[in-house]
Structure 1
Amino acid sequence: MSKKTIFLIIFFALLSITFLGYAGFVTMQETGSFFGKEKLPVLGSPGHTIGGFSFTNQEGRTITSKDVTGKIYVSEYFFTTCTGICPRMNRNMEKVYARYKDNPNFLILSHTVDPDHDSVPVLKAYAEKHGADARNWWFLTGPKKELYKLARQGYMLDDGTYTGEEDFVHTQWFALVDGEGRVRGLYEGTKKSDIDKLINDIDRLMNE
């Protein structure tokens, strides 16, 4: 093989590497990741965030929106006397918790929709039943109006329609929230396929 042929091979190889690198850079600029792996979408209207809140967890500690700033977390709504979807949802949430419980940048927020019954002691017993450490899995209670407002206007987990005489939130959806308070995904907490996707999306979000 002549020197000229070797030179041309090297030249075109370097040219190809340069082109691929440039294409990857352009893709990263456009999608936020290299070679086309897109970031998770941001749900809601432009600029939408969860907003401020203040509730009480299973240990009687006040939890506010400041406590979740910079953290990735999953939010859900349930009630301790539920015999329908809630047990299945929280069995699935246990799987999510088991995977990330040792990650200091991850939290789970489980809000009761029945604060009249679900007092701090009731929530503590329920949390213990699910192996939840109050360090990073919070079972929250507070004023019903504020809990429901956050479910609907913040996490977008409920559309506000209901039947019967009394307003009630009963939703199977989980919300994935980033460190800036933005909703990055909604998942059916009763479905294994959605739980698998949630875990995959948490990994992606942690690597953004």
Structure 2
Amino acid sequence: MKRNLTTYLSVVALSSALFACSGTSEKKLPIIGERETEERVVDGKTVVDTIYHQIPSFSFINQDSVEITDKDFDNKVYVANFFFTHCPSICPTMQRNLLKVYEKYKDDEQVAFLSHSIDFKYDTPSVLKSYAEKLGVTNKQWQFVTGDKKAIYGIADKYLVYTKEDENAPGGYDHQSYLVLIDPQKRIRGAYDGTNDEQVAQLFVDLEILLKEQ
């Protein structure tokens, strides 16, 4: 059965509560997603490595009609989400809250932002460009990208975010409002409801923790 972030975050919340009760002062963010173990032999001894879930290679077109790939986020901490420009429900609040994070870290080369449009029919690069400008994005630190349905919905699965075309949903698309925090190794380190002020505040805190970890 495919898991999404909701399932993992329930486990993380329980682990965090146990961590707090332990009295340990040094905090480190969890690594979210499935994991596997792999054995290798080093100097005659068997070493067990943990292989964590990672965001795979990708390629999309941004608001400037330029190809954006996973390589553009190498050695960066970034926040990713899924939206569409004419969304009448959760997107306006989610994007305004993400803008607050962008404004704090504007021009910080360690931090980037990546918004994937799930409306592959309407959200062309020019539409995304206009949207970004109206939102208040003034540099290349925050990328707005589009692609074909298979690519966009496929990468959403890798971020463990639910997305779906649904004619009964507001605007014709159903999706979660998670802001997903990714480390330089392309691993998921946190996810926050972009419509919830408390969770957005936690994103600010956790982003600082992750930056100090690097």
Select the residue among 40, 52, 57 that pairs with 2:29.
40
Cα 1:133–1:202 shift into 2, 3 Å:
same
Taking the TM superposition and a 5 Å limit, the aligned residue runs for 1:10-49 are 36-46=25-35, 47-49=52-54
User: What is residue 81 of structure 1 aligned with on the other side?
Assistant: 86
- Whichever structure has more helix as a proportion of its residues is 1
Residues in 2 aligned to 1:181 and 1:78: alpha-carbon distance in whole angstroms: 21
Per the TM alignment, residue 133 of structure 1 is displaced from its structure 2 partner at its CA by: 2.9
Instruction: Name the structure 2 match of 1:157.
Output: 161
Work out which of the residue numbers 174, 196, 199 in structure 1 matches 2:201.
196
Which runs of structure 1 show a deviation greater than 2 angstroms over 4 or more consecutive aligned residues?
A: 160-169
Bigger-Rg structure (1/2)? 1
Equivalent-residue separation in structure 2 for 1:165 and 1:196 (angstroms): 32
1:113-124 correspondence to structure 2 within 5 Å: 113-124=118-129
Residue 98 of structure 1: aligned partner: 103
Q: Distance in 1 between matches of 2:166 and 2:186?
A: 31
**Does 2:149 match 1:141?**
no
SS in 2 for 1:110: strand
Q: 1:36, CA displacement in angstroms?
A: 3.3
Q: Say if 2:100 is the partner of 1:111.
A: no
Q: Structure 2 vs 1, CA of residues 113 and 170 (structure 1 numbering), >3 Å: closer, same or farther?
A: same
Partner of 1:55: 60
Alpha-carbon RMSD: 1.9
Q: 1:91 to 1:48 in 2, by over 3 A?
A: same
Amino acid paired to 2:203: L
Name the count of aligned residue pairs.
172
1:58·1:120 contact (CA, 8 Å) conserved in 2? yes
C-alpha displacement of 1:58:
0.6
Q: TM-score, normalised by structure 1?
A: 0.78
Deviation at 1:164, TM superposition (A): 5.5
- Percent sequence identity over aligned pairs: 40
- The 8 Å contact of residues 164 and 175 in structure 2, kept in 1 or not, is answered as no
- Superposed displacement of residue 144, structure 1: 1.4
Give the partner amino acid of 1:67: D
* Secondary structure of 1:36 counterpart: coil
More strand by share: 2
Deviation digits for residues 148-207 of structure 1 (CA, Å, limit 9, x no counterpart): 11111x11111x677669995521111000001000001000010011000110000000
How far has the Cα of 1:102 moved from its partner? Answer: 1.9
Gaps of 5+ in 2: 1-23, 36-51
